[in-house]
C-alpha cells in the first residue's frame, strides 16, 4: 500500500507502550467529541458498534465504540484485536487524511489504498459522520481559538510533506495543500 | 449558447453542502434522513434543523437549494412524504425534486407557488410524459434519465419548453431507466425506488480470498477484484457474472459517467442544468469536481477554451464513458 511508514519507523512504533498511547488517543477523541456533539447522532444506531481502526503500518489497532457522549477507546496489539463489528485499514497517514478531509474514502477504497471488512453499513455511517465533522488538527488537540489558524496551517504543511515523502495517494480535498 | 447554465451539485451532509457551495455550485441538491430520498445511506442526509441551516447558508452565498423527496410513497404511509414536502417548503427550498405523481399532486395543490422539479426517478423520457407533468402540475424542470442520446435530449428539450431540462454529466452511472430498475429489490428486498438504496450496504459484504477481494450483495457474489485491480462498490448492475460458461460484465462495465466533452453541445441544444452525481462522496471529491466543472462552465460562458484534460483526470484513474449520450454502451 502507498503511504506506508518506512520499516524502521514502523518497527519503532512497536516499542511504544500502549497505555500512554491509549491515554493520548482517548484525550484527542474526547476533544473531537466535545467539539462535535452531533457526531454520535449522525451515527445513529451504529454508534453502539465497535470499530477497529487499523493503521496497517503500525503494530497496534484502535478499537472505538462512539456511543453517546462517552466514547470508549482501546489501543491493542493487532494480534488481539478480534472483538469488533467493522474494520477500516489503511496506512496511518492515509487514515489521518480521511479524518481531516484530505481524502475521499470511496476513492481510497477504489484504488485499494484502504480496505474494509465486517459491517459495511456501520463503516459507511462512520465515514459519513467523520466527513461531516470537519475535524481539523486544532479541534482534535483541543486548542484555543487564537492558536487554531497557525496550528492548522503548520500541521497541514507537515502532512503534505509527509505524504509526499511516503508516496501516499495524491491529495485533492478541501484540506489538502493543492487547493487555495 | 442559448440558456444560462446551472451547475447542480450533490450534498450528502451539511459539511458536504458547504463544500459544494464554497467550490462554486450554482445549486445543491440534498434530502432528509429517511426513505423519502433516493440516497438513504447510513450517516448521510439532513435532519430538519440541519436542512434549515443548509438553506440559510446556501442563500447567503447566492446559491439555490433543491430538496429531493424522490422515492415513491408507500401505501398506508404517505404522511412521511407529505410531511417531507411541508418541511422542505418551510425550510426555504428553491425547488422540490419529486418522483411520485401523487406527491407531485399534493405539493402542487398545497403549495401552488412552489417550484417543482421532476426527479430522474420519475423516468419521464417522452415528450408526452413531460408535457403531462408540465401542463398538469406546472413542473418547471425535468431531470432526464441517463439512457438518452444527445440528439434525443435535443428533441425532448425543444418539446419540453418552457419546462427546463437537467442532465447528469458526471459521476456514478445508473444504467437503466431510473425508477424502473428492480434488480436491487430482487436481490435484497430494498431498492432506490421504495427505500432509497440500491444494493444497500446492509446487504453488502467483502471478504479477502487468496489475494482477491470478493464483494457480495444479498448473499450473491457480484464481483471479484484481483490484487492491484481497482475496486468498486458492488452495485448489482455492474457486477461480473457467469453465463454460458463465460464470466463478464453482463449489463455494463463499471465505468463512471463523464460527459465533459459534450458540455458545449448540451448547452447549445438548450439544456439548462448540468448535474453531478455523488451525494455519498466525501468533501475531497466534491470540492475538486465542483471546482473543475464550475471553471469549465464559466469558461464556456465567455466563449473560452475548456481544459478537457483537467476534467477527464477527475475519474480517479477509473475508466469513464459518455454513456448513452453517444450510444457508446455495449
Ligand atoms: S442496479 Fe444499477 S441500474 Fe438498477 S437501480 Fe441500481 S444502479 Fe441503477
Let me know whether B148 and B196 are in one domain. no
Let me know whether B78 and B166 are in one domain. yes
Owning domain of residue B245: 183-249
Most confident of A112-116, A130-134, B162-166, B298-302: B162-166
Residue A140 is placed in which grid cell? 482534535
Q: What is the CATH number of the domain that holds B149?
A: 3.20.20.70
- Domain endpoint, select from B249, B277, B305: B249
Residue B178 lies in a domain: no
The ipTM, to two decimals, is 0.85
Residue B204 lies in a domain: yes
CB-CB contact of B65 with B54 (8 Å): yes
Which domains can be identified in chain A, with CATH numbers? Answer: 7-165 (3.30.1050.10)
Per residue in B259-279, pLDDT (tens digit) is 888 899 999 999 999 999 999
Per residue in B141-163, pLDDT (tens digit) is 999 988 888 999 999 999 999 99
Read off φ and ψ for residue A26, nearest 5 degrees: -60, -40
Q: Do B282 and A105 touch (CB under 8 A)?
A: yes
Distance between B111 CA and the closest CA of chain A, angstroms: 31
Q: Atom 8 in ligand 1: which residue has the minimum CA distance?
A: B174
Q: Do A102 and B44 touch (CB under 8 A)?
A: no
Residue B107 is placed in which grid cell? 405539493
**pTM over cut 0.95:** no
What 3-state class would DSSP assign to B215? strand
Let me know whether B200 and B109 are in one domain. no
Q: Nearest residue of A to residue B216 by CA position?
A: A120
Tell me what percent of the residues of chain B surpass a pLDDT of 70: 92
In the 8-state DSSP scheme, what is residue B164?
E
Out of A109, A121, A174, closest to residue B231 by CB: A109
Let me know whether B240 and B200 are in one domain. yes
Whole-angstrom distance, CA of residue B199 vs CA of residue A95: 26
CB-CB contact of B294 with B287 (8 Å): no
Long-range contacts (CB closer than 8 Å, 24 or more residues apart) made by A65-74:
A66/A33, A66/A39, A66/A40, A66/A126, A67/A40, A68/A40, A69/A33, A69/A37, A69/A40, A71/A29, A71/A30, A71/A33, A73/A22, A73/A25, A73/A26, A73/A29, A74/A22
Question: What total number of domains does chain B contain?
Answer: 2
Pocket of ligand 1 (CB under 6 A): B 174-176, 181, 183-184, 192, 198, 235-237
Whole-angstrom distance, CA of residue B276 vs CA of residue B120: 13
Residue B110 lies in a domain: yes
Let me know whether B242 and B259 are in one domain. no
Residue B115 lies in a domain: yes
In terms of pLDDT, which residue wins out, B179 or B252? B179
- Domain endpoint, select from B249, B281, B302: B249
Q: Given this model, what pLDDT does residue A145 score? A: 87
Measured in whole angstroms, the distance separating CA A83 from the mean position of its chain's CA atoms is 19
Instruction: Name the nearest CA neighbour of A132 among B15, B172, B274, B45.
Output: B15
Residue B65 lies in a domain: yes
- Count of other CB atoms within 10 angstroms of residue B80: 15
Whole-angstrom distance, CA of residue A79 vs CA of residue A77: 5
Let me know whether B66 and B167 are in one domain. yes
Amino acid at each position: 500500500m502507498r503511504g506506508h511508514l518506512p520499516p524502521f519507523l514502523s518497527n519503532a512504533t512497536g516499542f511504544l507502550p500502549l497505555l500512554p498511547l491509549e491515554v493520548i488517543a482517548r484525550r484527542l477523541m474526547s476533544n473531537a467529541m466535545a467539539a462535535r456533539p452531533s457526531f454520535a447522532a449522525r451515527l445513529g444506531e451504529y454508534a453502539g458498534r465497535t470499530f477497529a481502526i487499523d493503521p496497517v503500518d503500525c503494530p497496534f489497532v484502535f478499537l472505538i465504540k462512539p456511543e453517546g457522549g462517552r466514547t470508549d477507546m482501546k489501543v491493542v496489539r493487532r494480534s488481539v484485536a478480534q472483538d469488533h463489528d467493522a474494520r477500516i485499514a489503511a496506512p496511518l497517514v492515509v487514515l489521518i487524511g480521511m479524518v481531516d478531509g484530505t481524502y475521499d474514502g470511496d476513492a481510497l477504497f477504489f484504488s485499494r489504498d484502504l480496505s474494509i471488512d465486517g459491517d459495511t453499513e456501520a463503516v459507511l455511517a462512520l465515514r459519513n459522520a467523520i466527513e461531516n465533522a470537519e475535524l481539523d488538527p486544532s479541534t482534535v488537540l483541543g486548542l484555543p481559538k487564537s492558536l487554531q489558524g497557525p496550528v492548522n496551517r503548520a500541521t497541514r504543511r507537515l502532512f503534505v510533506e509527509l505524504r509526499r515523502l511516503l508516496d501516499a495517494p495524491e491529495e485533492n480535498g478541501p484540506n489538502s495543500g493543492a487547493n487555495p | 449558447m442559448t440558456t444560462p447554465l446551472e451547475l447542480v451539485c450533490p450534498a450528502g451532509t451539511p459539511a458536504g453542502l458547504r463544500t459544494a457551495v464554497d467550490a462554486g455550485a450554482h445549486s445543491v441538491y440534498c434530502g432528509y434522513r429517511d426513505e423519502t430520498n433516493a440516497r438513504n445511506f447510513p450517516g448521510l442526509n439532513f435532519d430538519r434543523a440541519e436542512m434549515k441551516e443548509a438553506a440559510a447558508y446556501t442563500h447567503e452565498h447566492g446559491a439555490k437549494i433543491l430538496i429531493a423527496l424522490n422515492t415513491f410513497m408507500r401505501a398506508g404511509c404517505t404522511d412521511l412524504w407529505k410531511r417531507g414536502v411541508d418541511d422542505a417548503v418551510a425550510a426555504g427550498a428553491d425547488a422540490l425534486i419529486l418522483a411520485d405523481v401523487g406527491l407531485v399532486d399534493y405539493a402542487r395543490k398545497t403549495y401552488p407557488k412552489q417550484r417543482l422539479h421532476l426527479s430522474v426517478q420519475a423516468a419521464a423520457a417522452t415528450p408526452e410524459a413531460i408535457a403531462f407533468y408540465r401542463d398538469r402540475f406546472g413542473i418547471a424542470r425535468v431531470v432526464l434519465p441517463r439512457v438518452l442520446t444527445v440528439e434525443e435530449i435535443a428533441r425532448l428539450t425543444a418539446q419540453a419548453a418552457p419546462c427546463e431540462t437537467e442532465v447528469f454529466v458526471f459521476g456514478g452511472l445508473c444504467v437503466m431507466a431510473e425508477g424502473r430498475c428492480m434488480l436491487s429489490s430482487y436481490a435484497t428486498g430494498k431498492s432506490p425506488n421504495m427505500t432509497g438504496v440500491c444494493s444497500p450496504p446492509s446487504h453488502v459484504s467483502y471478504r479477502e480470498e487468496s489475494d482477491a477481494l470478493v464483494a457480495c450483495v444479498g448473499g450473491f457474489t457480484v464481483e471479484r477484484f484481483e490484487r492491484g485491480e481497482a475496486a468498486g462498490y458492488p452495485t448489482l448492475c455492474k457486477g461480473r457474472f457467469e453465463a454460458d460458461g463465460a464470466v463478464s460484465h453482463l449489463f455494463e462495465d463499471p465505468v463512471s459517467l463523464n460527459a465533459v466533452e459534450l458540455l458545449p453541445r448540451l448547452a447549445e441544444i438548450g439544456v439548462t442544468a448540468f448535474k453531478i452525481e455523488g451525494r455519498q462522496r466525501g468533501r475531497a471529491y466534491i470540492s475538486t469536481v465542483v471546482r473543475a466543472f464550475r471553471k469549465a462552465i464559466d469558461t464556456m460562458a465567455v466563449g473560452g477554451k475548456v481544459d478537457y484534460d483537467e476534467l477527464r483526470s477527475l475519474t480517479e484513474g477509473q475508466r469513464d464513458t459518455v454513456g448513452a449520450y453517444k450510444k457508446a454502451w455495449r
